[in-house]
Amino acid sequence: MEKNVIISILYSYYGKLLTDKQAEAIDLYYNEDLSLTEIADLQGVSKQSVSETIKRSEKILLDYENKLALVAKLNSLQDYIYKLEEKLINDLGSDQYSDYMELIFQIKQELK
C-alpha cells in the first residue's frame, strides 16, 4: 500500500493521540494535500519545522500501529466477514440466511 494511504489510515485511528500541532500537520499534508511551504505559512513556522513535525508524527503513528495493531486487526476481521459473506451467498437455501446477513451488516457498521 502507498505510504500516503497508510499514514492517512493510521491518522484516522491514532490521530487523537498526536499533539494538536502534529495532528494538524499530518492532516494538512496527507488529507488536504498541502505542500510543506503552504503548511509552514499557515502555522507561521519554517518549512524545515513542518518537515520534522511530519516525520516525527509519521514515526509516532507507525509505532502506535506496531504496538497496538488496531488497523491490522480490523483488516483481519473484515477479511473474515467477507469470507463468511461469500459462504452464505453460496448457501442461499438456508432458512437463516437473512439472519446471518443482518448480523454481518451490524458487525460491519460497528467496525466503521
Domain extent at residue 86: 72-111
CATH number at residue 63: 1.10.10.10
pLDDT per position as a tens digit, 18-30: 999 999 999 999 9
44-62 pLDDT per residue, tens: 999 999 999 999 999 999 9
Query: Are 82 and 95 members of one domain?
Result: yes
Distance (Å, rounded) from C-alpha 64 to C-alpha 17?
A: 9
> Based on the domain organization, do 7 and 39 belong to the same domain?
yes
Domain count for the chain, please give it.
Answer: 2
Are both 63 and 9 inside the same structural domain? yes
| pTM reported for the whole predicted model | 0.75
CA nearest to 19, candidates 47, 49, 52, 60: 60
